[in-house]
Structure 1
């Protein structure tokens, strides 16, 4: 029987489904988190074989002792995962300390976390990236700007999502950034006019994709957060062929295996010198964990699958089973803002699209910056129907 240590199984709240899928495969699921056992959901409690509360998951020594306790009680740990970007480095450190070879080790983290290193491996995969370099001083930034011109993007070399991203349109913007630049390393890049699309996959022990899907971000996350726009993206039953090719080549270049991954690319919206023609694929970043938020559930809606079970089947059997003849859909997400007025009321939307909507509700305040305040998720028969749904639901007065 496999012993699987799951870090932070209670957050995000849907992650108990990973634990339940493991249990249903006969795995001992050993949870570590910093919340009291009584505060865990009944569903999570049922999925766990054992639980260890630490004062804080930020306390690496305490988490190390928890894994040691499980090793003493249950024997060798076969897997250790959080499936969470925030704990990726700590996960790797713990695997390295306990010789758990089913996931990335600490020496993999530079290429998995630093955007400057990702560019090197994208290049090995044959995927172009925007010119960029780590800048530590104002002089570095000015030199880069003089070489490539504006507009530019500055973002943390280690970071995810829209946090800490700055758009630089001129030297005044650049000076304002360096006047308050945080201590952490930042990378400066040529701004790409492209639509973000992703390659998402479950990979087996050899790095072979067992299941592939992807999304299209209709409105970029940076613009959603910075400009308080509606959040609009869609899950596809499978990515476009050029995204599939880029994704698979990137998997090989990074040597990643035994996990779910979320790789992001740009599709150029116009010809861009040094990058390519309109429609070409350009590398953005790799994320060595599942796509965040509600995306795993949307994969289920788009593919008529149980992504949590497929992942657990990979862990336990190094393969998956898909139902033959299953229906697939294009699955749009539209997150609306309380501060905006829309042509269709909630009642109008439900009357017109209720037969397509599979989930809707309030977005937690902590996530509303990136996802809006009220969301609708639909199962549409094709891209045309999905685009029409997005246009109608998000049309403003």
Structure 2
């Protein structure tokens, strides 16, 4: 089997996808925009061959790379990146090279545009926030006055919390509107009071969920980015829960087959007239790729499995060979380089080293949402998890702060 992996060298831990495929017997062919001498040994050893292109956004160059691999090795069976930034590129290549094992260009509207995602959610009976296309300032102000402030403004086709704003007044709206890229389609939507909960996993070719999990964001990603907060979230039980039920319905609604997926919902923290009661779940967005922010590693830690192998086995054998049994609570705590904390990294390790599974620096391009330095840790109970999370992210206080 010939598998092309786009950008295997970034993020740096994505070599794991390639390595598991190679270990299972696939031929893994990389295309990346880092010169070969700059690619780390983990990535080099995970690939059968690497093709350098100066710019992955130059479609002709990437097309030639796929053509080169096709001529050398025969028909390409899979094209993947597991990176939201390259989903259009994957789809374009699959369309042009007739690779049938993933979304093509005609599938991308509902997988990338938040407005189209809402349509699919609603057809599945899952409530979503009201929205309008932000075609003019007047349109946006009229919508805000109709639903009431606050409202959210964000790109219809956007990644993460980039260019996403919570507005609380007409003046806010006017000020932000002036800064928006007028070439980009934005939407304005009703603010939903609640916390983000995810549902992610891997499906087989029939859309059956091979494994899944869920994470709770302690703060909205939008606030983590815009307010420069420490990034914190944790893994929660998923089986026989409402998050599993709504996640399974979303898998079916979007025809999620042979995919790593990452869905986001909002759990209401207060009643919302047309959305439901406090505690209900509301559809937010879908991502047909692996979750970022080290969540695959958190899945491994919670279940004592290897999701990179599960993903590779799905591609090669269309099944999972692991017994899926959750054993731990797993947390993520990210620190900012420009913040002083009560405990140093060394003190955290000394105090909680037996619980910490990973300590790492985040790539600068991803640190805005993920923080600069992160800890993954696992415990046997929720109370212990929150105690460790609190100590990792507790800021140092000056005498002035305390007064």
User: Per the alignment, in what secondary structure is the counterpart of residue 136 of structure 1?
Assistant: coil
The separation in 2 between residues aligned to 1:278 and 1:171, in whole angstroms, is 28
- Aligned CA distance change for structure 1 residues 357 and 8 (closer, same or farther; 3 Å): same
Distance 2:124 2:375 in 1: 36
Q: Which residue of 1 aligns with 2:393?
A: 394
Native 8 Å contact 1:237 1:302 kept in 2: no
Q: 1:375 to 1:322 in 2, by over 3 A?
A: same
Aligned equivalent of 2:273: 273
- Structure 2: 5+ residue runs without aligned partners? 398-403
| Equivalent-residue separation in structure 1 for 2:300 and 2:237 (angstroms) | 9
Distance 2:141 2:340 in 1: 42
Equivalences for residues 183-222 of structure 1 within 5 A: 183=182, 184-222=184-222
Change (3 A) 1:32 1:368: closer
Question: Secondary structure at the residue paired with 2:139?
Answer: helix
- Tell me how far apart the structure 2 counterparts of residues 10 and 95 of structure 1 sit (CA, whole Å): 21
1:91 match: 90
Aligned partners of 1:237 and 1:329 also within 8 Å: no
Q: 1:83 to 1:372 in 2, by over 3 A?
A: closer
CA contact (8 A) 2:31 2:52 kept: yes
Secondary structure of the 1:284 match is strand
- More moved, 31-40 vs 7-16: 31-40
Could you tell me whether the CA contact under 8 Å between 1:9 and 1:31 is conserved in 2?
yes
Q: Which residue of 1 aligns with 2:315?
A: 315
Following superposition, the deviation at residue 240 of structure 1 comes to 6.8
Query: 1:133 offset after TM fit, Å?
Result: 1.8
Measured after TM superposition, the shift of residue 273 of structure 1 is 2.0
* C-alpha displacement of 1:48: 1.7
Rounded to whole Å, the distance in 2 between the matches of 1:85 and 1:104 is: 13
Aligned residue number for residue 286 of structure 2 = 286
Alignment of 1:101-250 (within 5 A): 101-183=100-182, 184-236=184-236, 238=238, 241-250=241-250
Deviations along 1:121-160, whole A, 9 cap, x unmatched? 0112221111112111012112211211111000000012
Cα deviation, 1:273-310, whole Å, max 9, x if unaligned, reads: 22111111001100110111322222211221111111
CA contact (8 A) 2:11 2:363 kept: no
Aligned to 2:8: 9
Return the alpha-carbon distance in structure 2 between the equivalents of residues 240 and 218 of structure 1. Answer: 23
Summarize the Cα distance change of 1:83–1:374 in structure 2 as closer, same or farther, 3 Å threshold: closer
The residue matched to 2:31 in structure 1 has which SS? strand
TM-score by length of 2: 0.94
| Structure-2 residue corresponding to 1:381 | 380
User: How far apart are residue 38 of structure 1 and its match?
Assistant: 2.7
Count matched residues: 395
Q: Quote the Cα distance in structure 2 between the aligned partners of 1:76 and 1:342.
A: 53
Task: Quote the Cα distance in structure 1 between the aligned partners of 2:177 and 2:29.
Answer: 45
Report the CA distance between 1:51 and its aligned residue. Answer: 2.3
Q: How far did residue 39 of structure 1 move?
A: 2.4
Matches within 5 A, 1:30-41: 30-41=29-40
Please list the CA deviations of residues 309-341 of structure 1 after superposition, one character each: whole Å capped at 9, or x if unmatched. 1100000000011147x6621111111234434
Aligned residue number for residue 371 of structure 1: 370
1:337/1:90 Cα in 2 relative to 1: closer, same or farther (>3 Å)?
Answer: closer
Cα 1:72/1:337, change in 2 over 3 Å? closer
